Amino acid sequence: MRTVKNLLRYTRRYRLILILSLLCAAVSVGFSLYIPVLVGEAIDYMVGKGAVDFGEIGRVAVIILALIALIAVFQWLMNYCVNVVCARTVRDLRDDVFKKLNTLSLKDIDSNAHGDIISRITNDVEAIGDGLSQVITKLFSGMITIVGTLLFMLAINAYIALIVVVLTPMSVLVAAIIGKMCARSFRGQQQLQGEISSYVEEIVGNQKVVKAFAYEERSAKEFEVYNKKLFKVGLKAQFAGALANPSTRFVNNMVYAVTGIIGALSVLTAFMGQLTIGGLACFLTYANQYTKPFNEVTGVLTQIQTALAAGDRVFDTLHAESEPDESGKRRYDKAEGGLEFRDVCFSYTPDKELIKNFSLKVKSGEQVAIVGPTGCGKTTLINLIMRFYEVDSGEILLDGIPAKDINRDVLRQNFGMVLQDSWLFSGTIMDNLRYGNPAASDEEIIAAAKMSYAHSFIRKMPDGYNTKLSENADNLSAGQKQLLCIARAMVLDPPVLILDEATSSIDTLTEIRVQKAFKKLMKGRTSFIVAHRLSTIKESDIILVMNDGNIVEQGTHKELLSRKGYYYNLYNSQFADS
């Protein structure tokens, strides 16, 4: 119900079009219901051989033709309006969900499967659109049809009309019973579909690994097991679902038969009120038309339910809590780059403490290296500096101003970041490099690319800087992607640099060049380097050694070596005899 209310809010913007379409539906359905009366009337003017009143038939025919024209126009108008409302509502919903994503906290985005969110934007919204158009066209015109035919039937013969009214809902009842019967097999099918999908995703998605282990035949066998199960369950579900249509049609045929017999008797014997033959003809047409919406409604009911379920999911996302608006918060152009951590505490989950009372002062222009084994919390620190996650207690200050008092976007613009998994978007290389600084000229970008040693491989690409990158930039190697990310950061020219394992998949030779370029770039900039290779950080002003989320040691390379602690062991282990 909440979903319906929410959806109504979206359609409300188009309420004029919506009302217009409903009016059109009412007019066209109303008129089209009147046509059988006219046809019956015309037939009544054909009494028998030599007793056909062509004058009257002609008069009726003209009326029919006029009505047809009107009906056609209104029908078209209705269809068109419905289309407009649905297309626009779908667009609005998509835009809003997309915008919403950008306001959600990283915590929410990290903890949801991306495929699931994408399917909300695409499939679920599509289902809502389909459901909406079904509701407006089928459900509404169905209701008008039911009321209209009922009135007409009552006008022709109240008794027989009542019989039709009582009998027809039987088809709905039958549909409901069948629906209940197949609910379980549908659920079973859904579940197996899910299982098969995730198996396929795993195996087909990692087909190269499958080949490495010559696992093809074994996986085909495993797949066969799922597939056979799906056949059994799917057959049951499909057949159960296919029962509804013939069954309701059967009920309708019975209604037709009963109406026909009683109608004929009433013509003959004035049983239950007198009928004419023409009256019987149009009564039968009405009986047929009266039952049709019931059929159609049962038919679209599943679609409407799907749409509602989809609506629940979409509105869950839309109503998720956004990060608070910070448009009123402090903004300034460029920071000096001094950073301070004051008694910072943080954990992802309340039961597992990660960073505890961490304090550190970094002067503008200093180089900080963070080291430690994988999963020790290095990325966490970056998450906090960038305010992707908020600290639990304590504070982080930029140039002496608490980070939480600075507008989030302004804060982040002061950091140039190269992340562990280099992200590029589909577009040309030039577009990607210009991402952080739209004002940069082509020359500036090429200069940055040269500095980060990306220029030579970009030039070798088919269209140079205008080469389009595919999704995930599959046409580049991991190292090349990272070089592009480094070049992108260079174009941005930020006061603070954050390099998260930035050079891990670039070979050392290239890395030396990058390091040289970085040295130039880092002059006058504060930089944080999360790195694996100790060689890259020997010259840092401060080295933070992390383990299990805690900062175990901090100091310069020499200090830490002379302390003979954790860092000393870590450093020496790489040179011991292998």
Report the site for another protein in 354-383 (rule: CB under 8 A): 372-375
Apex CA 360: angle with CA 354 and CA 361, to 5°? 155
By CB under 8 A, tell whether 345 contacts another protein.
no
Using CB under 8 A as the binding rule, the residues of this chain from 534 to 563 that contact another protein are: 534-535
Q: Which of 30, 260, 394, 565 binds another protein (CB under 8 A)?
A: 260
Q: Residues 190, 508, 519, 539: which binds another protein (CB under 8 A)? A: 508
Strand, coil or helix: what is 368?
Answer: strand
In this structure, the number of other CB atoms found within 10 A of the CB of residue 320 comes to 14
Residue type, 13: R
Cβ-based nearer residue to another protein, 180 or 269: 269
- Rule CB under 8 A: say whether 324 interacts with another protein: no
332 makes contact with another protein (CB under 8 A): no
Given 5, 352, 460, 558, the residue binding another protein (CB under 8 A)? 460
CA nearest neighbour of 85 among 172, 162, 15:
15
DSSP-derived secondary structure letter, 139: I
Q: Among 340, 336, 338, which Cα is nearest to 397's?
A: 340
The residue among 218 and 363 lying less far from another protein, judged by its C-beta, is 218
Beta carbons of 132 and 7 less than 8 angstroms apart: yes
Write 152-156 long-range contacts (CB < 8 A, 24+): 152/33, 152/34, 152/36, 152/37, 152/282, 152/286, 153/283, 153/286, 153/287, 153/290, 156/275, 156/279, 156/282, 156/283, 156/286
Structure tokens at 354: 């990660």
In the set 16, 166, 173, 220, which binds another protein (CB under 8 A)? 220
Q: Does 14 bind another protein (CB under 8 A)?
A: no
When binding is defined by CB under 8 A, the residue of 34, 348, 388, 568 that contacts another protein is 388
238 vs 342 by CB, closer to another protein = 238
For residue 239, state whether it binds another protein (rule: CB under 8 A): yes
Tokens of residue 179, six digits: 């629906």
210 binds another protein, rule: CB under 8 A = yes
The one-letter code for the residue type at 89 is T
Interface with another protein, residue 325, by CB under 8 A? no
Q: Least distance in Å: CB of 104 to another protein?
A: 9
Q: How far is the CB of 231 from another protein (least distance, A)?
A: 4
Q: Does 349 bind another protein (CB under 8 A)?
A: no
Q: Which of 412, 450, 468, 557 binds another protein (CB under 8 A)?
A: 412
- Cβ–Cβ < 8 Å for 344, 550: no
Candidate segments 3-11, 174-182, 199-207, 361-369, binder of another protein by CB under 8 A: 199-207
Residue 225 makes contact with another protein by CB under 8 A = no
Among 23, 139, 165, 284, interactor with another protein by CB under 8 A: 284
Residues of this chain, 137-176, that bind another protein according to CB under 8 A? none
CB of 176 to another protein, least distance (A): 18
Binding to another protein by residue 183, rule CB under 8 A? Answer: no
Residue from 439, 474, 523, 558 binding another protein (CB under 8 A):
474
- What token pair was written down for 378? 């290095």
Residue 247 burial by CB count (10 A; 0-12/13-18/19+): exposed, middle or buried? Answer: middle
Separation between Cα atoms, residue 433 and residue 435, nearest integer Å: 5
Pick the closer one to another protein by CB: 41 or 340.
Answer: 41
Q: Is 22 in the site for another protein (CB under 8 A)?
A: no
Out of 390, 394, 401, 435, the only residue in the binding site for another protein (CB under 8 A) is 435
Q: In which residue are the tokens 């629940």 written?
A: 312
Cα angle 303-307-309, degrees, rounded to a multiple of 5? 115
Instruction: Count Cα neighbours of 219 within 13 Å in the Cβ-side half-sphere.
Output: 19
Listed in sequence order, the residues at least 6 apart from 134 whose beta carbon sits closer than 8 Å to its beta carbon are 300, 303, 304, 307
User: Does the footprint of another protein cover residue 11 (CB under 8 A)?
Assistant: no
Q: Within 10 Å of residue 218's Cβ, how many Cβ atoms?
A: 11
- State how far the Cα of 409 lies from the Cα of 417, in Å rounded to an integer: 14
If one asks whether residue 327 binds another protein (CB under 8 A), the answer comes out as: no
Q: Rg of the Cα trace of the chain?
A: 36
Which range of residues in 176-184, 442-450, 510-518, 549-557 is near another protein by CB under 8 A? 510-518
576 binds another protein (CB under 8 A): yes
> Which residue among 2, 201, 302, 316 contacts another protein (CB under 8 A)?
201
Residue 281 within binding range of another protein, rule CB under 8 A: yes
The residue within the footprint of another protein, chosen from 191, 257, 273, 563 (CB under 8 A), is 257
Which of 94, 342, 468, 557 forms a contact with another protein (CB under 8 A)? 94
**Interface segment toward another protein; rule CB under 8 A; list 143-151, 312-320, 339-347, 501-509:** 501-509
Tokens describing residue 182: 């197949």
Q: What is the 3-state secondary structure (H, E, C) of 196-239?
A: HHHHHHHHHHCHHHHHHCCCHHHHHHHHHHHHHHHHHHHHHHHH
Interface pick for another protein out of 1, 5, 9, 51 (rule CB under 8 A) = 51
Does 322 interact with another protein (rule: CB under 8 A)? no
80 binds another protein (CB under 8 A): yes
How many other β-carbons are positioned within 10 Å of the β-carbon of residue 95?
11
Nearer Cβ to another protein (103/359): 103
Can you read off the two tokens belonging to residue 477? 């190697």
The DSSP call for residue 13 is T
Determine the interface stretch with another protein among 2-10, 338-346, 357-365, 503-511 (rule: CB under 8 A): 503-511
Single-letter code of the amino acid located at 370: I
DSSP-derived 3-state class of residue 476: coil
The residues with which 361 forms a beta bridge, in sequence order, are 340
Task: Read off the tokens for 461.
Answer: 């690409």
# residues contacting another protein (CB under 8 A) = 165
Per CB under 8 A, does 272 bind another protein? no
